[in-house]
């Protein structure tokens, strides 16, 4: 028979649970602000969209984080074929 151990939530886990609605609200405000930014500057965006697309690539690489996916690890236990 096994016993189930329950971990008591620490202050850091409680803080992360409370900050999730705040993060969601901030993302929603950023989306609305982005919409109005595009709407007010549509002439700029419509003529220079290709440059904005090219700018998005390095920004996505910069903000991606590069961790936690497991694709960048060097696993020496694999047998080479």
pLDDT tens for residues 24-48?
A: 999 999 999 999 998 999 888 888 8
Q: Do 52 and 45 meet the contact criterion of CB atoms below 8 Å apart?
A: yes
Q: Is the pLDDT of residue 1 over 60?
A: no
- Which range among 3-7, 30-34, 37-41, 58-62 shows the weakest confidence by mean pLDDT? 3-7
DSSP 26-72: HHHHHHHHHHHHHHHTHHHHHHSHHHHHHHHHHHHHHHH---SSSTT
Task: Please report the pLDDT score of residue 60 as a whole number.
Answer: 85
Greatest distance between any 2 Cα atoms in the chain: 69
Q: Do 20 and 13 meet the contact criterion of CB atoms below 8 Å apart?
A: no
Question: Cα-flanking dihedrals φ and ψ of residue 48, to 5°?
Answer: -120, 30
pTM to 2 decimals? Answer: 0.42
* pLDDT band at residue 52 using 50, 70 and 90 as cut-offs: confident
Provide CB contacts within 8 A for 52, sequence distance 6+.
45
């Amino acid at each position: 028979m096994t016993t189930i151990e329950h971990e008591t939530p620490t202050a850091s886990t409680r803080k992360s649970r409370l900050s999730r609605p705040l993060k969601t609200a901030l993302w929603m405000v950023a989306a609305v602000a982005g919409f109005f930014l595009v709407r007010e500057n549509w002439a700029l965006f419509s003529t220079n969209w290709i440059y904005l697309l090219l700018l998005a690539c390095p920004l996505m690489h910069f903000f991606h984080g590069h961790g936690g996916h497991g694709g960048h690890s060097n696993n020496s236990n694999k047998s080479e074929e």
